[in-house]
DNA sequence: TTCCGGTCTGAAAACCTTTTCATTCCGCGT
DNA sequence: ACGCGGAATGAAAAGGTTTTCAGACCGGAA
């Protein structure tokens, strides 16, 4: 329609500087009027780049992940990439299969996989460019947060409020995030001389918090730090039902800062982890990896959000 | 490697019945050992089917949508399709553009678009097979819920508790869901003789509920129905801050049944809309549309979840 | 005038499948 | 013995791009 060959159309659209301005404008004009966009599948066939990214999350129903998805999605679109989303339903076994299926159709993968074993992750990363989010494996590009610093902020806050004996409700033992949190917490409490009571592991969900609340109450602590906000909310729920005043009788502190945290009453004091930013950083690192073959690591800052669920120790 | 032509490989893998068993087995064996999977982009080039679906949601941060995404995602994977996800950030203007970009790479689109104008939707649907979720447009395939029945359940529940004067806090006027809810509610209250006080429109979010709470309180009603759960939670939050007892002084009723609804205290009575099921149905309808060119409509049942936020009228 | 270099454009190959059409081979009926 | 039909396979085209290579054209230098 523009009276030029397909080759010139390609050049006019993707490398405009090499075609004569008059021709270029004519081609682009015609293309626009026809609503023509290059077929990305055909392009991918020859360039080897599909312009697609894969994103794997363990469970969208966990309010932590939609924010990450949002970040990935937004940044990917800015970089003119589309996003394949897969939810593994908390099944680490299914993850590898999903990644491999996706692998053929994407340039790279942003992987949120708190549970998958490290060797498996390495194997996957060798097959398809991969960036880990909220998971660190030596040698692989990853986005995480400064857990240690967040934990330091949380404990300092509690100490300032007069707490000296603190419980920790742990998440799944196999989860990397939980291991990190435990490690940080132990380090911080040892350094500050605070007494730490570890309550054992619960499901990282609302009902996990509900189920452990009575044991926390029996542990004679003045404050409790939960593995994440969902668990903290479960604690709050059960404590309210038992008539325990928060924060007067017990201070409750969460981790993540999911949107619900400030919607409940009392609002939850929590260590905010960057979520949307982590998603964006994941995409940045992935694109960087694709361009330069360099695996980078990024550690994002955390921030204690002081709300109503923590107060002076009795 | 199997000593046969590419044509035979294709046949052995996708139409096994037309190749001699011995050959077929040999080919499949070699394919497996090589980890060979047909390149879907190349296949799409010739078959015209990509095996990909698009999914557009207005805002993943709204807890209503992750469940839908989960449903779409799960069912699509069962049908061996991958899912492109796009979040439009509540920007109806951007939606059309996103759909068109996605259109070339997918067989069809599952579209959650409460705001987009009807003509625009029709135009889009003419360009690419589209199924609407929680939106009804005559002639287009769509998945919705029985709002009228849900509203009937809600109002009957309130009537049974002795409520006779009920407030409704509306969502965006341009939203299809809000229009449906208002329409249903008016019909039900007219029929039952309940007095309906319409409080006007708020943002369909937590802060929307917070901001309207005092006006509801001044309206001298004994119960309030909110456009959705987020607004209802905002109401609860502000009411708690004002020292109003729920449900003793005021009953609060939501819509959607997002996961948070049962995490707050008191837990929120709400009309549950099928979310994951809606996503699954969306995929089913889309695949049906692709196969048979027939546009179907599906109406899913709603279910009142009675929890702690509603009680007898004073 | 000739030749050179540079700029712009077109032809053709390549990417990886699937599908159509043709070919080969075999067994069977006449 | 011949021909026919059916089954199995291969060759080649097609799908929509991008890239490489070659060619056309033009201006300027020798």
Task: Classify residue A3 as exposed, middle or buried by CB count within 10 Å of its CB (0-12, 13-18, 19+).
Answer: exposed
Chain D: nucleotides below 7 Å from protein CB are 7-12, 14-20
| CATH class belonging to A50-145+275-302 | alpha beta
CB A109 within 8 A of CB A99: yes
Q: Rounded to an integer, what distance in angstroms lies between the CA atom of residue B283 and that of residue B184?
A: 27
Rounded average pLDDT over B81-94: 89
pLDDT at A293 over 90: no
Rounded average pLDDT over A39-47: 89
Residue A149 confidence (pLDDT):
97
pLDDT at A5 over 90: no
Q: Which residue is nearest to nucleotide D20 (CA to C1')?
A: A7
Q: Rounded to an integer, what distance in angstroms lies between the CA atom of residue A267 and that of residue A246?
A: 10
CB A198 within 8 A of CB A247: no
Is the C-beta atom of B47 closer than 7 angstroms to strand C? yes
How sure is the predictor about B239, in pLDDT bands with cuts at 50, 70 and 90?
very high
Q: Which of A153-162, A210-219, B257-266 has the lowest mean pLDDT?
A: B257-266
Region label for B148, one of left (φ > 0), alpha (ψ between -120 and 50) or beta (otherwise): alpha
Contacts of B61 in chain A (CB under 8 A): 66-67, 70, 259
Residue–nucleotide distance: B28 CA to D8 C1' (Å):
17
Q: Rounded to an integer, what distance in angstroms lies between the CA atom of residue B236 and that of residue B257?
A: 15
Integer CA distances (angstroms), A99 to A127, A152, A195, B76, B164, in order? 10, 36, 43, 15, 56
Range list of β-strands (E), chain B: 52-57, 82-87, 108-111, 130-133, 142-145, 165-170, 195-201, 223-226, 251-256, 269-272, 297-300, 303-305
CB A161 within 8 A of CB A313: yes
Q: Give bridge partners of residue B303 from the DSSP assignment.
A: B272
- Hey, are the CB atoms on A264 and B265 less than 8 Å from each other? yes
Do domains A50-145+275-302 and A147-273 share one topology? The answer is: yes
Residues in chain B: 314
> Per mean pLDDT, which of A185-194, B12-21, B98-107 is the most reliable?
A185-194
Q: Give bridge partners of residue B131 from the DSSP assignment.
A: B110
Q: Rounded to an integer, what distance in angstroms lies between the CA atom of residue A173 and that of residue B25?
A: 44
Is the C-beta atom of B16 closer than 7 angstroms to strand D? no
Q: Rounded to an integer, what distance in angstroms lies between the CA atom of residue B26 and that of residue B250?
A: 73
Element housing B88 (H / E): none
The per-residue pLDDT for range A98-150, each reduced to its tens digit, is 888 888 889 999 999 998 999 999 999 988 999 999 999 999 999 999 999 99
CB B311 within 8 A of CB B251: yes
Residue A98 confidence (pLDDT):
83
The per-residue pLDDT for range B154-182, each reduced to its tens digit, is 999 999 999 999 999 999 999 999 999 99
CB B175 within 8 A of CB B115: yes
pLDDT at B110 over 90: yes
Is the C-beta atom of B27 closer than 7 angstroms to strand D? no
How sure is the predictor about B100, in pLDDT bands with cuts at 50, 70 and 90?
confident
Residue B89 confidence (pLDDT):
85
Phi first, then psi: what are they for A282, rounded to 5°? -55, -45
The per-residue pLDDT for range A188-203, each reduced to its tens digit, is 999 999 999 999 999 9
Instruction: Note whether B77 contacts A: Cβ–Cβ < 8 A.
Output: yes
How sure is the predictor about A32, in pLDDT bands with cuts at 50, 70 and 90?
confident
Buried b (16+ CB within 10 A) or exposed e, A180-196: bbbebbeebbeeeebeb
Is the C-beta atom of B14 closer than 7 angstroms to strand C? yes
Q: Rounded to an integer, what distance in angstroms lies between the CA atom of residue B62 and that of residue B237?
A: 18
Task: Count CB neighbours of A292 within 10 A.
Answer: 9
pLDDT at B129 over 90: yes
CB contact residues (below 8 A), chain B span 131-170, against chain A: none
Is the C-beta atom of B6 closer than 7 angstroms to strand D? yes
Q: Which of A45-54, A302-311, B233-242 has the lowest mean pLDDT?
A: A45-54
Instruction: Note whether B294 contacts A: Cβ–Cβ < 8 A.
Output: no
Coil, strand or helix: which one is A234?
helix
CB contact residues (below 8 A), chain A span 93-122, against chain B: 98, 101-102, 104-105
Q: Rounded to an integer, what distance in angstroms lies between the CA atom of residue B65 and that of residue B61?
A: 8
Structure tokens at A104: 């053929």
Give the closest-approach CA distance of A189 to chain B in angstroms: 31
Q: Give bridge partners of residue A270 from the DSSP assignment.
A: A254, A305
Q: Give bridge partners of residue A77 from the DSSP assignment.
A: none
Structure tokens at B260: 């948070």
More confidently predicted of A31 and B101? A31
Contacts of B74 in chain A (CB under 8 A): 87, 89
pLDDT at B93 over 90: no
Is the C-beta atom of A8 closer than 7 angstroms to strand C? yes
Q: Give bridge partners of residue B109 from the DSSP assignment.
A: B54, B130
Contacts of A66 in chain B (CB under 8 A): 60-61, 63, 65-66
* Domain boundaries defined on chain B: 6-38, 50-145+275-301, 147-273
Instruction: Note whether A83 contacts B: Cβ–Cβ < 8 A.
Output: yes
Q: Rounded to an integer, what distance in angstroms lies between the CA atom of residue A275 and that of residue A305?
A: 15
Q: Which of A5-19, A127-141, A250-264, B232-246 has the lowest mean pLDDT?
A: A5-19
- Hey, are the CB atoms on A85 and B87 less than 8 Å from each other? no
- Hey, are the CB atoms on B233 and A263 less than 8 Å from each other? yes
Integer CA distances (angstroms), B222 to A80, A203, B8, B154, B270, in order? 52, 39, 74, 14, 16
pLDDT at B212 over 90: yes
Q: Rounded to an integer, what distance in angstroms lies between the CA atom of residue B207 and that of residue B61?
A: 14
CB A202 within 8 A of CB A170: yes
| Measured distance between the N- and C-terminal CA atoms of chain A, rounded to whole angstroms | 81
How sure is the predictor about B20, in pLDDT bands with cuts at 50, 70 and 90?
confident
Residue–nucleotide distance: B41 CA to D14 C1' (Å):
15
Domain spanning A147-273: CATH 3.40.50.2300: yes
Residue–nucleotide distance: B128 CA to C16 C1' (Å):
25
The CATH T-level fold of domain B50-145+275-301 is Rossmann fold (3.40.50)
């Amino acid at each position: 329609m523009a009276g030029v060959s397909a080759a010139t159309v390609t050049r006019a659209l993707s490398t405009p500087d090499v075609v004569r301005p008059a021709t270029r404008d004519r081609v682009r004009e015609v293309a626009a009027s026809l609503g023509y966009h290059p077929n990305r599948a055909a392009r991918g066939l020859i360039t080897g780049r599909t312009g697609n990214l894969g994103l794997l999350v363990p469970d969208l129903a966990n309010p932590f992940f939609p924010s990450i998805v949002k970040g990935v999605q937004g940044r990917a679109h800015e970089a003119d990439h589309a996003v394949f989303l897969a939810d593994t339903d908390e099944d680490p076994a299914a993850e590898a299969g999903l990644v491999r299926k996706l692998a053929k159709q994407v340039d790279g993968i942003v992987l949120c996989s708190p549970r998958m074993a490290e060797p498996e992750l390495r194997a996957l990363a060798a097959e398809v460019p991969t960036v880990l989010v909220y998971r660190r494996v030596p040698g692989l590009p990853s986005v995480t947060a400064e857990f240690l610093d967040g934990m330091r902020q949380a404990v300092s806050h509690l100490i300032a409020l007069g707490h000296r004996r603190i419980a920790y409700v742990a998440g799944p033992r196999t989860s990397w995030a939980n291991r990190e949190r435990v490690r940080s917490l132990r380090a911080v409490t040892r350094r500050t001389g605070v007494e730490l009571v570890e309550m054992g592991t619960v499901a990282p969900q609302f009902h996990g918090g509900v189920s452990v609340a009575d044991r926390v109450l029996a542990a004679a602590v003045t404050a409790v730090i939960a593995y994440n906000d969902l668990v903290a909310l479960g604690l709050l729920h059960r404590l309210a039902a038992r008539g325990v005043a928060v924060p007067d009788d017990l201070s409750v502190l969460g981790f993540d800062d999911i949107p619900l945290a400030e919607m409940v009453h009392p609002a939850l004091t929590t260590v905010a982890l960057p979520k949307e930013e982590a998603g964006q950083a994941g995409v940045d690192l992935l694109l960087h990896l694709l361009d330069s073959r360099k695996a980078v690591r990024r550690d994002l800052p955390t921030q204690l959000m002081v709300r109503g669920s923590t107060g002076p120790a009795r």
